[in-house]
Amino acid sequence: MKKLLLTFLFFTIYVLHAKDFCVIVHPSTSIKTLSTEKIRKIFLRKHHFIDNMKAIPVNLLSNHKLRLLFEKQIIKVKREQLNQYWVQQHFLGVSPPVTQASDQSIKLFIQNLPGAIGYIPKSLVDAKVKVVHEF
Amino acid sequence: MRLKLLPLLVISIFHLSAEDKYTLGNGYKFFDALTIGGYFTTDYTASATSSSLTADDIAVLAYGKLSNRLSYLGEFESKDTYTVNFQDSTTVDNFQVHIERLNFDYKVSEKINFRVGKQITPIGYWGAQPISVLRDTTSNPVFSTTMYPKLFTGIDAYGYLPFTESTKYHLLLQKNEDLDSDYNNILTDQFFAFALDSEININWRVGGSIGHFINLADEVFYFVQLNTQYDFHPFTFSAEIIRNQAQSPSQNDYTRLGAFYLQLLYRQSPKHIWVTRLEHSRDPMTLNEESFLVAGYSFRPLYPISLKTEYQWHEYNVNNKFILSFSVLF
């Protein structure tokens, strides 16, 4: 029983600390990493450029589990606060990021569009995209 | 004609809400170059001397991207559209549509961008949210409508300061007439200001501004202003203070005005929000100083729909006021 508990505890800690997802950009981008703060500001449309290119953030659909994790770990605001934020931004003429239905389509979007930025599982990463942050 | 067009427009926008591209409060995005939205407010105000019901703002908003770096925004509004005064049983209507905002925004880099045209003066927290549905209370802090032009027609050069990615600056320049001289709180043909807004961390913002403007009566004004906002969920504390000096055209008389407010907001839940605000200001016309307390409640079944009520206790009891409003952003 004790062994089982220890295994469970170890597994929980591993899962909590494992970085299985990443933020990706077009491979032509010269920057190597982006901070959590910079990514947060790009997705809130407070910052507008990556490597002197106009940033085009792309989200998964609002109920996707990876998007919820991204919002919790990178954007760091609750969904209701985020919805309020976008209503306020609408009045200022700012739209939320565009959405894609799946992580595969996000990857396809980013590999074909310099300046685009999004997040996918690490397992989908290949030479067609560049990882700038892991979470 | 205008009277017939406005309800049609409102109905047609609500009709689009069934489609995928529409979310209440985020407008209808036809394509990247065109998103259309709007808002309306109606309020009831009662004091010792008057009571009235007003269809206050009916507005249409359009914005979009014209290229990767160039975007535009237009806002057209009918203000105080229909008012019923219960004290003397009179009605007043005003269906004239004004240009509240019309500007183009060109993004160069994080450090410098340009917005040209009629736009919101980016000073303090209330200026950025000038419509009832977005505000915490139906009423504004008094100084946000008396101490500087809330809109200006000119150039805003803005961006993040070179040594930080969290401190935003705005350099405002106006040396021409207002695009719609019927629609502004203070009419000016010369307005310069510099404003800073810094995000200390995710919960704490501080800012300030200095400015100068000349009104159409050739009175010269200078102001300095500071603001801070701290979010400690479920509370948000905000405070702003401003000092304004007016110089008469003959340059012999000076008038100094000061104002501040302290506000505490409590989010009981996303739908139920309570707010209290202490304000102190000096009326620019009568020069009477006054403090007053505002207590308000906002019910938001959805964030873009707001039913608000507030009561104001003034030092001069005759100014005590009850306000009830209903507003929607669509």
| ipTM of this complex | 0.88
Cβ atoms within 10 Å, residue B312: 19
The pTM for the full model equals: 0.88
Q: How far is CA B134 from the centre of its chain?
A: 9
- Token couple for B263: 């506000």
Let me know if residue A115 belongs to a domain: yes
Let me know if residue A15 belongs to a domain: no
Give the total number of structural domains in chain A.
1
Residues B102, B60 contacting (CB under 8 angstroms): no
Q: How far does A84 lie from chain B, in Å, by closest CA?
A: 6
Query: Cα separation of B205 and B120, whole Å?
Result: 19
Residues of chain B found within 8 Å of residue A76, distances taken between Cβ atoms: 202
- Residue A103's alpha-carbon distances to A17, A26, A39, A97, A125, in angstroms, are 21, 15, 18, 15, 11
Cβ atoms within 10 Å, residue B330: 24
The pLDDT of residue A2 is 65
Mean pLDDT computed over A124-128: 95
Let me know if residue A128 belongs to a domain: yes
Architecture of domain B9-329: Beta Barrel (2.40)
* Domain limits for position A65: 21-134
For B97, the enclosing helix (H) or strand (E) is: strand B97-107
Of B29, B69, B329, the CB nearest to A54: B69
The pLDDT of residue B169 is 97
Q: Kindly list the residues of chain A whose beta carbon comes within 8 Å of any beta carbon in chain B.
A: 37-38, 41, 47-49, 52, 54, 76-77, 80, 83-84, 86-88, 90-93, 95-96
pLDDT confidence band for A111 (50 / 70 / 90): very high
Q: 3-state DSSP call for residue B68?
A: coil
Residues B21, B30 contacting (CB under 8 angstroms): yes
Residue A12 pLDDT greater than 90, yes or no: no
Let me know if residue A31 belongs to a domain: yes
Let me know if residue A2 belongs to a domain: no
Residues of chain A found within 8 Å of residue B134, distances taken between Cβ atoms: 87-88, 91
Let me know if residue A11 belongs to a domain: no
| Contact criterion met (CB < 8 Å) for A90 and B107 | no
Residue A68 pLDDT greater than 70, yes or no: yes
Of B35, B109, B165, the CB nearest to A95: B35
pLDDT confidence band for A1 (50 / 70 / 90): low
**Residues whose CB is less than 8 angstroms from the CB of residue A124 and which lie 6 or more positions away in sequence, other chains included:** A103, A104, A107
**Residues whose CB is less than 8 angstroms from the CB of residue B46 and which lie 6 or more positions away in sequence, other chains included:** B321, B322, B323
Residues B59, B10 contacting (CB under 8 angstroms): no
Phi-psi domain of B181 (left: phi exceeds 0; alpha: psi -120 through 50; beta: other): alpha
The pLDDT of residue B205 is 96
Let me know if residue A6 belongs to a domain: no
Within a 13 Å sphere around the CA of A73, how many CA atoms are in the beta-carbon half?
Answer: 19
Of A48, A93, A96, the CB nearest to B107: A48
| Percent of chain A clearing pLDDT 90 (strictly above) | 81
The pLDDT of residue B13 is 47
Residue A67 pLDDT greater than 60, yes or no: yes
Query: Cα separation of B229 and B264, whole Å?
Result: 10
Let me know if residue A14 belongs to a domain: no
Q: How far apart are the first and last CA of chain B?
A: 23
B86-124 burial: b if 16+ Cβ within 10 Å, else e = eeeeeeeeeeebbbbbbbebebeebeebebebbbbbbbb
Mean pLDDT of each 10-residue bin along chain B, 330 residues long: 45 44 87 94 93 91 95 92 88 89 97 97 88 92 89 97 92 94 88 96 95 93 96 95 88 85 96 97 78 96 96 92 96
Upstream peptide bond of B234 is cis (omega within 30 degrees of 0): yes
- Token couple for A130: 């560049």
Within a 13 Å sphere around the CA of B296, how many CA atoms are in the beta-carbon half?
Answer: 29
| Domains in chain B: boundaries | 9-329
Residue A77 pLDDT greater than 50, yes or no: yes
The pLDDT of residue B62 is 97
Interior angle at CA B58, CA B263 and CA B312, nearest 5: 30
Cβ atoms within 10 Å, residue B189: 16
Q: Kindly list the residues of chain B whose beta carbon comes within 8 Å of any beta carbon in chain A.
A: 25-27, 29, 35, 37, 39, 61, 63, 68-69, 71-73, 105, 107, 109-110, 113, 120, 128-129, 131, 134, 160, 165-166, 202, 270, 303-304, 329
What CATH number did the domain enclosing A56 receive?
A: 3.40.190.10
